[in-house]
């Protein structure tokens, strides 16, 4: 049985969404865990939506595909592969929508030693066929030695 070694990670999560002339940005800082299981690496952390909604977010990277999995008040599963279009699903207690991501860029570099790591994702996103704009997601990752 393979032993899973977790690293505590501090991260800054930034998102910019552009739809025509409208831009929306948000940013938060959180902590999470980075670990390897089999041939894939995982980053797991909590996201807060509004005052009361908490979502457990997992990013799974296999060297080619970045899979985003959200579980909690929002359920979401979406793959991102550079240069490809992928189909996923976004579910709340009220609705269930098909999602489509046309991914332009996926860069994943995990923290190594004292260096910072990053995840950079740029994609055009549709929910139930409706254009939600171009999304740019940047995570800055740093090993949290305080834990």
pTM of this structure: 0.90
pLDDT at position 147 = 58
* C-alpha torsion 107→130→18→87, nearest 10: 0
Distance, CA of 93 to CA of 132 (rounded, Å): 21
pLDDT at position 113 = 66
| pLDDT tens track, the chain, 147 positions | 566 778 899 999 999 999 989 999 999 999 999 999 988 999 999 987 777 778 999 999 999 999 999 999 889 999 999 999 999 999 988 999 999 999 999 999 987 766 789 999 999 999 999 999 999 999 999 988 775
Distance, CA of 76 to CA of 30 (rounded, Å): 20
CATH class entry, domain 6-143: mainly beta
Q: What secondary structure, in 3-state letters, does the chain show?
A: CCCCCEEEEEEEEEEEEEECCEEEEEEEEEEEEEEEECCEEEEEEEEEECCCEEEEEEEEECCCCEEEEEEECCEEEEEECCCCEEEEEEECCCCEEEEEEEEEEEEEECCCCCCCEEEEEEEEEEECCEEEEEEEEEEEEEECCCC
pLDDT at position 114 = 65
Distance, CA of 47 to CA of 27 (rounded, Å): 11
Backbone angles phi, psi at 117, to 5 degrees: -115, 175
Q: What is the pLDDT of residues 101-134, one digit of tens each?
A: 999 999 999 877 667 899 999 999 999 999 999 9
pLDDT at position 98 = 97
């Amino acid at each position: 049985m393979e032993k899973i070694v977790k690293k505590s990670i501090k991260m800054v999560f930034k998102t910019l969404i552009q739809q025509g002339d409208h831009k929306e940005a948000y940013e938060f800082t959180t902590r999470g865990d980075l670990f390897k299981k089999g041939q894939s690496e995982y980053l797991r952390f909590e996201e807060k939506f509004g005052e009361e909604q908490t979502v457990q977010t997992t990013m799974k990277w296999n060297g080619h595909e970045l899979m985003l999995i959200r579980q909690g008040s929002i359920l979401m599963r979406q793959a991102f592969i550079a240069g490809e279009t992928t189909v996923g699903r976004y579910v709340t207690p009220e609705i269930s929508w098909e999602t489509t991501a046309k991914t332009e860029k996926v860069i994943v570099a995990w923290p190594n030693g004292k260096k910072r790591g990053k995840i950079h994702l740029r994609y055009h996103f549709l929910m139930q066929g409706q254009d939600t704009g171009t999304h740019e997601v940047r995570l800055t990752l740093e090993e949290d030695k305080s834990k």
